Chain A
Amino acid sequence: MTGDYMTIVIAAMLVNNLVLVQFLGICPFLGVSSRLSTAIGMSAAVMFVMTLAAIATYLIRQFLLIPFELQFLETVSFILVIASLVQLVEIVMKKISPPLHQALGVFLPLITTNCAIMGVALLIVQHGYTLGETIVFAIASAIGFTIALVAFAGIRERLALMPVPKAMRGGPIALVTAGLLSLAFMGFQGLA
């Protein structure tokens, strides 16, 4: 039983890393990774929203969509749940930590259109996880997202000081860097 959970954790965190292998959540990955501090804040917000969203969408699917045979409403209902959760997190963050809210204010609404959250909710449906596995999978995926985002932000802080050819400045060099990071993560293949 614990072995199963361990496999889920390793697979979600490293082998099938959300950002670098599955291409989910690329927008925040490229958007908020130029400074380490914002990257950490964004990761924390994503981790919180992702876990809550995974649980909420799981419950809605089990107790509303399946009993009433409304699975075709999956996309619509999932995105609405996620959008409301993001609003909630924004309100809570504004109350508890105004500086963090100021730093992340622009990006919080963007979590709604963060494919990582929706993607994890849909992956859980695809894998047919139980509630326990759902929670473990969501947290592990969020940790994987954090690892990728923080590592990338660290590299980009260095990269900002490097002489880069004019055509490659900005987006292109960031993408090539992400490619090399993704190559490094290929090394985890076969671990789980």
Chain B
Amino acid sequence: MSNEMSIRSELTKGFFRENPVFAMLLGMCPVLGVTTTAINGIGMGVASLAVLLGSNTVVALFKDLIPEKVRIPAYIVVIASFVTIVDLSMAAYLPDLHRSLGLFIPLIVVNCVILGRAEAFASRNSLAYSVIDGLTMGLGFTMALGMLGAVREVLGSGALFGFAFVGEDATTMLLFVMPPGAFIALGFLIAAVNTAVKKAQAFAAARSRAVSTQPATEGVN
């Protein structure tokens, strides 16, 4: 029972409660840099997901073999290898996306989310949990990038996933596809998501208090 519950909480934590972008403000460079369209955002998210999954798996497998003192360089080499694989594969199979993401593909190697998960999670947990962690954190990251990309694309170019829904000569808020718009849109998006999450948690806590007949033993967090 408790094991099942913790798998469930592992599966959901990456989306809102511990979302790397909304809750922890990590890995901001690609978040701001590539999200001019929803497609770019999701493409970047999936590339990071692939690296995160690979690095979490390898780190969890070899955690007992890596000496404590050189663990950070070892993790970095593992991550850099996966980044190189993703970089070269994308250049071969998705050249257009690779071109529009540009510099930010090799820069996945310095994404704090990936090293952070290797150090904080994969090096301390079993393989299965590390794979789940990589998957959910990666999906949470992809979701955040996709959301920001969609907001910026709708406001800035009047389109979504490349399909324009305003006329050719319509005036759109160009600001949102330019650098300042990235900061401003992300600021408001984080405020909105965090407020919604807090409301939902307060609601769930109030309901569980009303339902349970026994006095609550756990604090409401």
Q: Show the binding face of A for B, using Cβ within 8 Å.
A: 20-27, 30, 72-76, 79-80, 83, 109-110, 112-115, 117-119, 122-123, 126, 167-168, 171-176, 178-180, 182-183, 186
In the assembly, what is the distance between CA of A80 and CA of B32, in Å?
A: 25
Could you say which residues of chain A place their CB within 8 Å of the CB of B191? 167-168, 172
Select A20's contact among B25, B77, B179, B187, beta carbons within 8 Å.
Answer: B179
Shortest distance from the beta carbon of B145 to any chain A beta carbon, whole Å = 13
Asked if A179 and B112 sit within 8 Å, CB to CB, the answer is: no
Report if A112-B76 is in contact (Cβ < 8 Å); known contacts: A72-B84, A172-B188.
Answer: yes
Main secondary structure of the interface of A (DSSP, over half): helix
Could you say which residues of chain A place their CB within 8 Å of the CB of B167? none
Count, chain B residues at interface, CB 8 A? 42
6 additional contacts (CB under 8 A) given A23-B33, A118-B110, A171-B25: A27-B26, A75-B106, A112-B76, A113-B115, A167-B195, A176-B183
In the assembly, what is the distance between CA of A25 and CA of B87, in Å?
A: 21
Please tell me if B132 contacts chain A, counting CB pairs below 8 Å: no
Asked if A179 and B29 sit within 8 Å, CB to CB, the answer is: no
Shortest distance from the beta carbon of A109 to any chain B beta carbon, whole Å = 8
In the assembly, what is the distance between CA of A174 and CA of B187, in Å?
A: 7
Asked if A114 and B179 sit within 8 Å, CB to CB, the answer is: no
Select B180's contact among A22, A24, A30, A180, beta carbons within 8 Å.
Answer: A180
Asked if A27 and B180 sit within 8 Å, CB to CB, the answer is: no
Asked if B76 and A80 sit within 8 Å, CB to CB, the answer is: yes
Could you say which residues of chain A place their CB within 8 Å of the CB of B27? 27
Report if A26-B184 is in contact (Cβ < 8 Å); known contacts: A20-B179, A182-B179.
Answer: no
Asked if A80 and B77 sit within 8 Å, CB to CB, the answer is: yes
Shortest distance from the beta carbon of B131 to any chain A beta carbon, whole Å = 23
Could you say which residues of chain A place their CB within 8 Å of the CB of B111? 113, 115
Report if A175-B190 is in contact (Cβ < 8 Å); known contacts: A25-B29, A76-B77.
Answer: yes
Closest A residue by C-beta to B184: A179
Shortest distance from the beta carbon of A167 to any chain B beta carbon, whole Å = 5
Asked if B183 and A179 sit within 8 Å, CB to CB, the answer is: yes
Please tell me if B178 contacts chain A, counting CB pairs below 8 Å: yes
7 closest Cβ pairs, A-B complex: A179-B183, A175-B187, A179-B184, A23-B33, A26-B28, A172-B191, A176-B187
Shortest distance from the beta carbon of B22 to any chain A beta carbon, whole Å = 9
Shortest distance from the beta carbon of A26 to any chain B beta carbon, whole Å = 4
Most A CB contacts (10 A, CB to CB) among B107, B175, B179, B192 go to B179
Asked if B188 and A75 sit within 8 Å, CB to CB, the answer is: no
Asked if A175 and B183 sit within 8 Å, CB to CB, the answer is: yes
Interface string of B13-53 (1 = CB under 8 A from A): 00000000000011111101100000000000000000000
Shortest distance from the beta carbon of B213 to any chain A beta carbon, whole Å = 34
Asked if B106 and A110 sit within 8 Å, CB to CB, the answer is: no
Please tell me if B67 contacts chain A, counting CB pairs below 8 Å: no
Select A23's contact among B29, B81, B188, B190, beta carbons within 8 Å.
Answer: B29
Select B29's contact among A27, A80, A109, A122, beta carbons within 8 Å.
Answer: A27
Shortest distance from the beta carbon of B35 to any chain A beta carbon, whole Å = 10
